[in-house]
Structure 1
């Protein structure tokens, strides 16, 4: 009984939060799908999806609203799996406020990174927030082992950031002279699906999660340290 009560009080808030957010995403996706999707409703995606053009028109809400739209059911279900796994994990460790901060901050940072490297492409999906939560977890517990993989959580997080940065830089959409040739070479040889992923968004969200984790892990000043610092300033012993 005590164990059951403990599981309810510790685990349920994260599961409920993940389920609630997943339900919102599925409901929106189902409504758009039943109405014909992006082909039939391009104005919805232009208004609430994220693009640099949209921001220049004053649609600031796009920096968060794009996370609730998705490109299709595979995209939607993939991100829902991420929500179901990551949100309860972060909730157990840090609580609901930092879950919200990590998710919304990652969405914002991922969106900013996207519009910095891409002008016309419309971004949708919550993966920037998921990237943030993943780096938050892997940075807080770098020595943990990832189930099913022979790799530590810390190496997984670092590898994710490096891969996202590399794929962003060689992407034809980024247009970095020299590097884009590599991306075009891959694109011509059947690798176009690699560049349909918003690597800049993943990188921006991941960096935000890493920075949030480093802030959480920062050294905290205690009374003894404060007194010692004051004594040094005043020339005392």
Structure 2
């Protein structure tokens, strides 16, 4: 049977199409046949897109970010109390929600309110939108209509970075920011290079002198060793750090500067750690020239103890914010006391196989770390920049350095 021109075959799809057109023309009102058929895939796409738009344009996020401009994902308690009293928050957030948030702040033992806590109170129920908002840091958006969560185990490098942040940073905000943003670029080269150079010098003098033992031999004829009778050769005040009195001395210094110095450099940067290290080295030689005038000086103990003391100051000043603070203090004191005790024994009690080697560099290097460390390390500067202790540290280091320099200038002929 042939159809006339312009005629069409009535089909279900055609009826649905015609019905949709009529409903559009009548603004959704239709007296005729209405189908219950829906396109499941289209509905899912619309649903996912709606959730994504809901998250990205979330007014809670906008309110929260005004008091979290760095994007840490949390607001300190003091700033959060200010936010609760702001006109905008009073307008946008119902009074009962503000009361709940205020109670949460008063009950919290933490130092900040996270975005998750904020959304939890504001949502009142755990909808899909809430879950997306809570885990917004772990989201991956592949397309406009594709939004899903990735909660995967971080790689080994990222776990190591997080562990270093927990160990050497005191503020939770700083730890989170460091763990999320550290890329090892530029790499921590100072401690690595100084360790390799010291190891190379020890190998060279071991081969040249034809022997090695736990406490010697000391290369007293080296142009790098600090000698009281050659104080006018100014490079000796710094370059003595490349030499060591035996493999035990070398092993301790290299071990501490790698275990403590390398993570500190990853956190604070090469320039800051180099400043602390070299300040300790100079303090070691200057202190020895004043308080132990007739001895030779080798080793990087001044710089190593400056790093140890800087980390010790970090633990002491932020004791309440650090996990296992008492364990860290005990560990640092045991290590430092054992090494200083061995150095004092070797200086006064042990049978001398050569010229005496000073232990004063350990103490003056530690003093340099306690002072210059407060001046240049990031977390110290942020906490102490406007406090009296910052200026006390600067004054102590400057006064000690000036005194040692003037003492050497006024006594050029000793010993």
Instruction: Give the shorter-chain TM-score range.
Output: 0.5 to 0.7
Which residue is 2:327 aligned to?
A: 151
Does residue 59 in structure 1 map to residue 225 in structure 2?
no
TM-score normalised to structure 2 length: 0.40
Question: Residues 284 and 360 of structure 2 are in contact (CA less than 8 Å); yes or no, is this contact kept in structure 1?
Answer: yes
Which residue is 1:24 aligned to?
A: 197
* Greater length-normalized contact order (CA 8 Å, ≥ 6 residues apart): 1
Segments of structure 1 that go 5 or more residues without pairing to the other structure are 174-182, 222-237
| Aligned equivalents of 2:266, 2:364: Cα separation in 1 | 24
| Aligned equivalents of 2:283, 2:245: Cα separation in 1 | 20
| Aligned equivalents of 2:314, 2:195: Cα separation in 1 | 25
Which residue is 1:200 aligned to?
A: 360
Aligned pairs (5 A) from 1:1-237? 3=155, 6=158, 7=161, 9-10=183-184, 13-14=187-188, 16-36=189-209, 42-44=220-222, 47-55=223-231, 58-142=232-316, 143=319, 144=322, 151-153=327-329, 187=349, 198-216=358-376, 217=380, 219-220=384-385
| Aligned equivalents of 1:171, 1:39: Cα separation in 2 | 17
Change (3 A) 1:117 1:94: same
Task: Measure how far apart 1:199 and its partner are.
Answer: 2.9
Aligned length: 196
Structure whose residues are more often helix by fraction: 1
| Aligned equivalents of 1:86, 1:134: Cα separation in 2 | 7
Question: Residues 105 and 129 of structure 1 are in contact (CA less than 8 Å); yes or no, is this contact kept in structure 2?
Answer: yes
Task: Measure how far apart 1:63 and its partner are.
Answer: 0.9
Task: Measure how far apart 1:20 and its partner are.
Answer: 2.4
Question: Residues 217 and 246 of structure 2 are in contact (CA less than 8 Å); yes or no, is this contact kept in structure 1?
Answer: no
Change (3 A) 1:87 1:59: same
| Aligned equivalents of 1:165, 1:80: Cα separation in 2 | 16
| Aligned equivalents of 1:40, 1:12: Cα separation in 2 | 36
Change (3 A) 1:41 1:52: closer
